Amino acid sequence: MNSKLTLRIDDGLIALAKAEAAQRGKSVSQMVGEFIDLLGHVKAPAQKIPPVTASLRGVLKGVPASEESYKKHLREKYG
């Protein structure tokens, strides 16, 4: 079932959307619908982390780490 939807968009953007739709042989409504449909299917790209950081991932797995243990480490190292 198709329902009508009213959008308030800048006139320049409407002209751009109509021109793009005509170039693609589609209606603006079809393009908007396809775009919204894609939003539900596209996963966000995985965040890229630097190689050094990636190599450290999981190093402390199973090791209890707390702020207090970190402070103790710093006191021993620099104290």
Domains identified in the chain, total number: 1
Domain presence at residue 48: no
pLDDT-derived band of residue 66, with 50, 70 and 90 as boundaries?
confident
Domain presence at residue 57: no
Domain presence at residue 2: no
- Secondary structure of the chain in HEC code, one letter for each residue: CCCCCCCCCCHHHHHHHHHHHHHHCCCHHHHHHHHHHHHCCCCCCCCCCCHHHHHHCCCCCCCCCCHHHHHHHHHHHHC
Residue 27 belongs to what domain range?
A: 8-43
Domain presence at residue 25: yes
pLDDT value of position 41: 83
The predicted model scores a pTM of 0.51
Domain presence at residue 19: yes
Q: Read off the pLDDT of residues 17-36 as tens digits, 9 standing for 90 and up.
A: 999 999 999 999 999 999 99
Half-sphere exposure of 24 (CA within 13 A, CB side): 14
Domain presence at residue 3: no
24 Cβ contact partners less than 8 Å away, ≥ 6 residues apart? 31
Q: If you average pLDDT over every residue of the chain, what do you get?
A: 90
Domain presence at residue 76: no
Domain presence at residue 77: no
pLDDT value of position 70: 87
